[in-house]
A and B are shown apart, each in its own frame.
Chain A
Amino acid sequence: MAMLELNNVHAFYGNIHALKGISIEVNEGEIVTLIGANGAGKSTTLKTISGLLKPRTGSITFEGEDLTIFPAHDIVYKGIALVPEGRGVFAKLTVIENLDMGAFSRTDREGIAADLDRVMTLFPRLEERRKQIAGTLSGGEQQMLATARALMAHPRLLLMDEPSMGLAPVLVESVFETIQEINQEGTTVLLVEQNAHMALQVADRGYVLQTGEIVLKDTAKGLRDNEEVQKAYLGME
C-alpha cells in the first residue's frame, strides 16, 4: 500500500471545478513530482492533501487513514508538512522564532533540538542568520527557511509548492539538491513544480496535470523521454 493515496478526487473553488478526478500514489521514500502549466491544479492538489481545501468527492488516505475528515491543523500532527507557495514564513519573526513555530505541533523537546540541529546543518545560512528577521532575508534564504520550518514538524511526507519560484538559477539548483538531501534522510517528498526540467531530474516518478486532470504518469525518466512532455514542458522541439 502506498503511503499517500488520492483516489478520484474532485475539488471545487466555488463553482470552478479545479480537480476533476485526480488519482495519485506516493510511496514511502520517494520523490514524486506534479508538473503542469499554470492553473492545471498542482497547488490545488497540495491544498487538498493538507486539508486547506476539502475535496467534494473522492478519498485521500495517508498510511491507510482517511485524511478528508481532518481539519488542516490536525493533518500536521499526522506527519504531513506543507511548504506553501511564495515562501510562507512569518515575516516579522526571526529565523529562530520561525523554526520554533515550525515545531509547534510537537512537545518532545529532545526531538525538536535534534531537528533544529539537523536543519541548521542542512541550511548553514540559517545558522548564520538565526536572529535576523525573516522578512529581511533574501528570496533564496526565505525559501530555505520555509523548508526548514516545515521540517521542524518532523514530517514523514513533505509537500513542496513551487520551491524554485522566483529564485535565481544558481539558487534553483541548490534548492533541488537540498530536496534530494532531505529525501535521502528519509522524508518522502511530493513536489509541485513549473520547472519540470529540474523536477524530473530529482524525482523518482511524476504526474502531468492538465486542467485538473492527470494526463500522464510515469517514472521520471519515462517522462523525460516522452516526446509530448519534452515539447510541452521541457521546451524541446
Chain B
Amino acid sequence: MVKSWDIDLRIPLRFGLIAGLIALMESVIGIVTLSWERSLVANVVTMGQVLLFAPAIVIASMAAKQANQDKKLVSLLYGLVTGFLTAIPLIILIAMATAFDLRQFMPNVSPALIELLTFGRSPVAGSLILLGVTSLMGLLAAAFDFLPKFIQRPLLMGLIVTLTIGIFSEILSNRLRDLVSVDFSRAIFEGKALKTIIAAGLFAFVAVLNFLWNQFQEPIRGAFGSLPPRLTRVLRVLVILVLIALGLLIPTIAGTYLSEVINNVGIFVLMGLGLNIVVGFAGLLDLGYVAFFAIGAYSMAVFTTEGPLGVSNMSFWAAIPFCIVIAAFAGIVLGVPVLRMRGDYLAIVTLGFGEIIRILALSDLLKPYIGGAQGVLKIPKPTIINFFAVIRDFFVNLFRGLPLPKAPFETIDLIKPEQFYYIVLAGCALAWFVSWRLGESRLGRQWMAVREDEDVAEAVGIKLVSTKLLAFAVGAAFSGLSGAFFASKLTSIFPHSFKLDISINVLCLIIIGGIGSLPGVVVGSIILVGMPELLREFKEYRLLMYGILLVVMMLARPEGFIPSAVKRREMLTADEQMQASAETESAAGD
C-alpha cells in the first residue's frame, strides 16, 4: 500500500535533518539569541524568530516539491515530517543543555537561548511545543504550494519586501525623521520595527501591486511595444532623465550615513568596473588588483597632502590625471612580465605583485616619501569653484556696474559625504561609459578573443601583447582613480588599508554580480560592500552571512545576479540553446 503512494521517506528525512542542522547552528553560534528581541514588525515577528524558523519553512517547502505533483497528501506528509525533524536537533540541544553545562565549549548555549527555544516552559513541555510549531510550519509550507502561482507570488513578494523594510527600519526611520518629521516617522516605525498596522498595509500593497503587475504585464509590454518608435525613444530619454535626476537627488534623500555607505559602494563599483575589464573582458585572473588602488591612493596622497610628505600641493583635480596615468603605467609594468602566463600562474604572480606594493608602502626604504606604517596624513578634500555664487555675482555686479568677479573665485570644500557623492558618481559614470564603449569596440572583440582562446586569437591576427597590456592598463587606471577618491575621502591613508582582502572582495563582487556584466558590478558592490555595512547591528554574524551568500550563490546561480550575454548562453544546455537561437531568429524575422 505504501508503494502505491510513492512515498520515499528518505526525502523528508534528508531535508529535515539539513533544516534541523541549520537551525541548530544558528542557535549554537548565538545569532538567534542576539536577534530574538529585534523586532521586524512590532509585536508580530522578530529577526530571531525568522532566523530560527526560516529553515523549517523554506526547506519543508523544498521537500514538499519533491513529491509527485498530483499526490497532495504525500507532499503534505513530506512537509510535516521535514518540519518535525527540524526540531529534533534543537530538542537534543535542549536536553543536553539541561543535563550538562555546555557553555564551557559552546559559550553561546546560554540559559537565555534554552529559555527562548522552550518558550519559557519546562524543557519537556517546551520541546513538545517546539516540535508542534515546526511541524505545523512544515505543513503550512507544503500547503502553501497548493495555492495557484498567481496568488503565491504576490504573497511571497509582499512578505519579502515587508521583512526587508523591517530589517532596515532603524535606518529608514532616521531618514524619515529628518526628511519629513518625527511624528511621521513615529507613525510608521515603533522602535526599530515597523508598526503592525503599517506592516499589514505594506504587505497588502506590495502583494496587490505584484498581483496586478503579473496579470497585466503582457498587455502593458505589448502596448509599449506597439507605440510608434519615435514615442518609444522619447519615453526612453525621459526614463533616463528621471534616473539621472534621481541619481543627483540621492544624497539629499539618503542623508549623511547612507551617503557615506553609497560612496564606499561607489569606490568599489569603480574598482569592480576596472577588474571587470581585466577578468571579465580579457579573462586575465588578477588577484593583486589592490596594488593599483594603493598606487592611485598614494599618488593622490603625496601630490596633494599639506603634511610634510607632500611634493607639490596640487589640487585634487590636478592630481587626478596623474593618479590615473601612474596607475595605468603600473598596470603595464605588471603586465609585461606576466604576458606569457595564464590562469593559475597569472593569479599567483599578480597576488605577489599586490603584496609587494603593500610591503613597499610599509617599508623603511620608502618611508621618507610615503610615510611607512604611519601613512600619509592631511590629504585635502576636493574643492570646487562655487559656480552658483560666481554666476550670481557676475549678473548682480553687471547690473550694479560693479567690477565683475575675478579669479580666485569663491570655492566650496566637498567635505560632507553628500557632497563627495557627486565626485564618486561622476567617476563611476565615466568608468561605466568607457567600459561600455570599449566592450563594444574592436578592442573589446580582441579581449573577448583572448579570453576565449589565446592561440586561436593569435591565429586570427590579434596582437596578444598589446591586447593584454591595454586590458591591464585600463583596469589599473580605473582602480587608480578609485584609489585617488579613497585617499581624498578618508584624508589619510595607511598601508594596511590595501590588503589582499580588497582584491578578493572586488573579485567576489564581480563574480556575484555576473562576470563581464556592467550592471552586475553595481549589484555585486551593493550586496557585498553596502549590505554588510547596513547590517552592522548583526556584528560579526554579517561576515557569516557574507560567506553563506557566496556559497549559496555559487551553487544556485553560478552565472551571477545579472549575467553577461555570453555567460548566460554558456549556462544553457544544448537544447535550450537551440530553442533560444530559434526564438531570436524568429524575433529577427518579425
**Residues on A facing B (Cβ under 8 Å):** 50, 52, 71-74, 76-77, 81-82, 84, 88-94, 100-102, 104-105, 130-133, 136, 149-150, 153
A105 vs B577: C-alpha distance in the bound complex, in angstroms?
29
Q: Do the beta carbons of B452 and A77 come within 8 Å of each other?
A: no
Tell yes or no: B462 within 8 A of A by CB.
yes
Contact A82 B581 (CB under 8 A): no
Decide yes or no: A73 and B456 within 8 Å by CB, A92-B566, A133-B569 being known contacts: no
A44 to chain B, nearest CB (A): 15
Q: How far is the CA of A105 from the CA of B459 in the complex (A)?
A: 10
**A130-B581, A131-B585, A132-B577 given; A88·B452 CB < 8 A:** no
Which of B446, B455, B461, B578 is within 8 Å of A153, CB to CB? B461
Q: Is the CB of B461 within 8 A of A76?
A: yes
B window 538-569: CB within 8 A of A: 566, 569
Are B459 and A89 in contact (CB-based, < 8 A)?
no
Chain B contacts of A130 at CB under 8 A? Answer: 581
Is B223 an interface position by the 8 A CB rule?
no
Beta-carbon contact of A84 and B459 below 8 Å = yes
Number of A-B contacts (CB under 8 A): 77
Given A105-B460, A131-B580, A153-B460, 20 extra CB contacts under 8 A: A52-B458, A71-B463, A72-B458, A73-B462, A74-B461, A76-B459, A76-B460, A76-B461, A77-B461, A81-B459, A84-B455, A84-B456, A84-B459, A88-B456, A93-B452, A101-B445, A102-B460, A105-B461, A133-B569, A150-B459
Residue of A nearest to B464 (CB): A73
CA distance A110 to B228 in the complex (A): 33
Indicate if B448 sits at the interface (CB-CB under 8 A).
yes
Could you say which of A52, A92, A132 contacts B578, with CB atoms under 8 Å apart?
Answer: A132
Q: How far is the CB of A171 from chain B (nearest CB, A)?
A: 19
Residues from chain B with a CB closer than 8 A to the CB of A133 are 569-570, 577
Closest to B588 in A: A131
B449 and A104 contacting across the interface, CB-CB below 8 Å: yes
Q: B: which residues have CB within 8 A of A?
A: 445-446, 448-449, 452-453, 455-464, 566, 569-570, 574, 577-578, 580-581, 584-585
> What is the bound-complex CA distance between A104 and B450, given in angstroms?
13
Q: How far is the CA of A212 from the CA of B384 in the complex (A)?
A: 70
Distance in angstroms from A100 CB to nearest chain B CB is 8
With A132-B577, A133-B577, A136-B574: A50-B459 Cβ-Cβ less than 8 Å: yes
Whether A104 lies near B585 (C-beta < 8 A) is no
Q: Can you list 17 A-B contacts (CB < 8 A)? A: A50-B459, A52-B458, A71-B463, A73-B464, A82-B459, A88-B456, A92-B566, A94-B581, A104-B445, A104-B461, A105-B461, A130-B581, A131-B577, A131-B584, A132-B578, A133-B569, A149-B456
Residues of B within 8 A of A92 (CB): 452, 566, 569-570
Nearest A-chain residue to B570, judged by Cβ: A92
Nearest Cβ on chain A to B422's Cβ, whole angstroms: 39
Closest chain A residue to B584, Cβ basis: A131
A130 to B582, CA, bound (A): 10
Q: Whole-angstrom distance between the alpha carbons of A74 and B466 in the complex?
A: 13
Complex alpha-carbon distance, A69 and B308, angstroms = 53
CB distance from A5 to the nearest CB of B (A): 22
* Cα–Cα, bound, A71→B580 (Å): 40
Indicate whether A91 sits within 8 Å of B584 (C-beta atoms), given known contacts A104-B462, A133-B569, A136-B574: no
B463 touches A73 (CB 8 A): yes
Chain B residues, Cβ within 8 Å of A82:
459
The smallest C-beta distance from A60 to any residue of chain B, in angstroms, reads 17
Q: How far is the CB of B87 from chain A (nearest CB, A)?
A: 47
Chain A residues near B566 (CB, 8 Å)?
A: 92-93
Considering the chains assembled together, what is the distance between the CA atoms of A52 and B464 in angstroms? 12
Report whether B452 and A90 are in contact in the complex, using a CB–CB cutoff of 8 Å. Answer: yes
| Chain A residues with CB below 8 A from B570, complex form | 92, 133
Residue of A100, A131, A136 with highest tally of chain B CB at under 10 A: A131
For A132, list chain B residues within 8 Å (CB). Answer: 574, 577-578, 581
Q: Which of A92, A101, A153 has the most CB of B within 10 A?
A: A101
Instruction: Please name the residue on chain B nearest to A100 by beta carbon.
Output: B445
User: What residues on A are CB-neighbors of B445 within 8 Å?
Assistant: 100-101, 104
A20 to B445 alpha-carbon distance, docked (Å): 39
Q: Pick the contact of B455: A88, A105, A136 (CB < 8 A).
A: A88
- Determine the chain B residues whose CB is within 8 A of the CB of A84 once the complex forms: 455-456, 459
Given contacts A72-B458, A105-B460, contact A90 B449 (CB under 8 A): yes
The verdict on A91 contacting B453 (CB below 8 Å), with A82-B459, A101-B445, A102-B460 known, is yes
**B456–A89 CB distance below 8 A:** yes
Q: Are B455 and A101 in contact (CB under 8 A)?
A: no
Give the residue of A74, A94, A104, A131 whose beta carbon is less than 8 angstroms from that of B460: A104
Find out whether the CB atom of B456 lies under 8 angstroms from the CB atom of A136. no
Q: Please name the residue on chain A nearest to B442 by beta carbon.
A: A104
